[in-house]
Structure 1
Amino acid sequence: MSEHIILVEDEIKLAQFLEMELNSKGYSVSIANDGVTGLILLRESSPDIAIFDWMLPGLSGVELCRHLRAMGSKIPIILLTAKDEVTSRVMGLDAGADDYVVKPFNIEELLARIRAHLRRHIEQDNRHLLIFEDLTLNCQSRQVFRGDRAIELTVKEFDLLEYLMSNPRQVFTKNQILEQVWGYDFVGDSNVIEVYVRYVRLKLEESKEKRLIYTVRGVGYVLREE
């Protein structure tokens, strides 16, 4: 699947040229020619990287940076700007931009910046992933997938699965799980572990997938292969 880029640029010919160049490199591109339309695009899609012109009608590129970061997005942002003063660069970076390219620029330089930021973003995302067999857990976004199937977990179900996936093939007693997932100050029945393990198993095996969480009789639980 090609990476998706949102480009917000009010110079129509430059936007068309950049779209053509980016398409030729295999990227899919969504274009807005003003800041307000750009913000709508950002809210309605999940791009892999965003490129904003600094000077835009409606909302400036700097304002778009602030909006995107306020939305919680961590995607890379590159600002296109005719401003090369230190104060302007600092303002853009403080607003949430990751990089800037001064106009006029060489298209190869922009493409190299895009590749570098996408590569770095992917590497950062991968550091938050736990993978075991066909099970994937994203510690940052708190998303869980069994193959391509998304699994909705409650907070404690997620925490339990994250703990087991962080230590695959290691057997944990109920007390160890209580301490690490529920906390040392937990007051209640240790049977809560059995209940939550059952809940998580049901969700992981909803489509008849093979079992990954096993009971070690008399000891506790383990995440392992068959």
Structure 2
Amino acid sequence: MNKKDITIAVIEDDENLRFLISHRLKTEEYEVIQSGNGLEGEKLILKRKPDIVLLDWMLPGKEGIEVCQSLRDAEFENVIIMITAKSQDVDKIDAYSLGVTDYITKPFNMDVLVAMIENKVRYFIPKGNTDVYNFGDTEHHPYIHSLVRAGKKIELTILENRILLHFLQNKGRDVTREELMEVVWGYSSNVNTRTLDMHVVRLRKKIETNPDKPHFLQTVRGLGYKFIEDEVVKEND
């Protein structure tokens, strides 16, 4: 996908920082839209549907995390990167559950921000692929972040979608936690194995008949996970 086809929203009330970020992203040939207010930024995002949102935690009008939650409630599924100050005490586990894709902490190097965005573009931005994956009696439609089982649609979060897609593309292979974290989150120094395991638990509730004794998404002790389909499996959870 050409960078010119990717729109990034910069929602940041610090005018100088917003200018610097926007200028650098335009230099990188991304299309940039921007706002310095939470309420106005939310309306702009819902209207323009940018591929990536850079969202400051503290905003006038409406705080960033509230904007994020409202966007997810409105079924906005694209990447949201939260910008936080180093001094802010942020409960990142809860924020991930509310729909934050990743974090970057002020002050940050612009090269690091660009690298993070390029990683999100590589792993998260749809590339026109409409493949459907099947396991058991379930269909996975990654391009709409959904499962279909018995004619019913089951919504997946962005992260659940990415985790499941990686497993379905690597059936029967041991996948380490480190590999999965890199594939799902890309460049990030903030994600830990606890966060990953939390998302796996939630994914199991959507794909397994009995999440406490998973058939498909098996734990490989001391290593990570393995997706096993249509075979007799040993319980190793």
Q: Does 1:95 align with 2:95?
A: no
- State the aligned residue count: 135
Q: Does 1:53 align with 2:53?
A: no
1:122 alignment partner, SS class: coil
| Per-residue Cα deviation, 1:150-208 (whole angstroms, up to 9, x for no partner) | xxxxx9xxxxxxxxxxxxxxxxxxxxxxxxxxxxxxxxxxxxxxxxxxxxxxxxxxxxx
In the alignment, which residue of structure 2 is the partner of 1:28?
A: 31
Q: Which amino acid aligns with 1:62?
A: I
Q: State the shift of 1:86 in Å.
A: 7.1
Instruction: State the distance in 1 between where 2:74 and 2:49 align.
Output: 12
Q: TM-score, normalised by structure 2?
A: 0.52
Q: Quick check: 1:2–1:26 contact (8 Å CA) kept in 2?
A: no
Q: Which amino acid aligns with 1:121?
A: F
Q: Does 1:74 align with 2:77?
A: yes
Q: Quick check: 1:76–1:118 contact (8 Å CA) kept in 2?
A: no
Q: Quick check: 2:51–2:125 contact (8 Å CA) kept in 1?
A: no
Instruction: State the distance in 1 between where 2:98 and 2:142 align.
Output: 26
Q: Quick check: 1:79–1:92 contact (8 Å CA) kept in 2?
A: no
In the alignment, which residue of structure 2 is the partner of 1:116?
A: 119
Q: Quick check: 2:129–2:143 contact (8 Å CA) kept in 1?
A: no
Q: TM-score, normalised by structure 1?
A: 0.54
Instruction: State the distance in 2 between where 1:103 and 1:140 align.
Output: 32
Q: State the shift of 1:78 in Å.
A: 0.4
Q: 1:53 to 1:85 in 2, by over 3 A?
A: closer
| Per-residue Cα deviation, 1:85-134 (whole angstroms, up to 9, x for no partner) | 775322322221110011001111111111111111136x655447xxxx
Q: 1:120 to 1:86 in 2, by over 3 A?
A: farther
| Per-residue Cα deviation, 1:36-76 (whole angstroms, up to 9, x for no partner) | 01011012112111110000011111111101111112111
Where does the alignment leave 5 or more consecutive residues of structure 1 unmatched? 131-137, 143-154, 156-226
1:119 alignment partner, SS class: helix
Where does the alignment leave 5 or more consecutive residues of structure 2 unmatched? 133-140, 146-150, 152-237
Q: 1:118 to 1:98 in 2, by over 3 A?
A: same
Q: 1:119 to 1:41 in 2, by over 3 A?
A: same
Map 1:192-207 onto structure 2 (within 5 A).
Answer: none
1:80 alignment partner, SS class: strand
Q: Does 1:64 align with 2:96?
A: no
> Which residue, 4, 8, 28 being the options, matches 2:11?
8
2:78 alignment partner, SS class: coil
2:5 alignment partner, SS class: coil
1:79 alignment partner, SS class: strand
Map 1:134-213 onto structure 2 (within 5 A).
Answer: 140-141=143-144
Identity, % of aligned positions? 30
In the alignment, which residue of structure 1 is the partner of 2:108?
A: 105
Instruction: State the distance in 1 between where 2:20 and 2:90 align.
Output: 29
Q: CA RMSD in A?
A: 2.5
Q: Quick check: 1:34–1:57 contact (8 Å CA) kept in 2?
A: yes
Instruction: State the distance in 1 between where 2:59 and 2:142 align.
Output: 36
2:125 alignment partner, SS class: helix
Q: 1:17 to 1:95 in 2, by over 3 A?
A: same
Q: 1:3 to 1:24 in 2, by over 3 A?
A: same
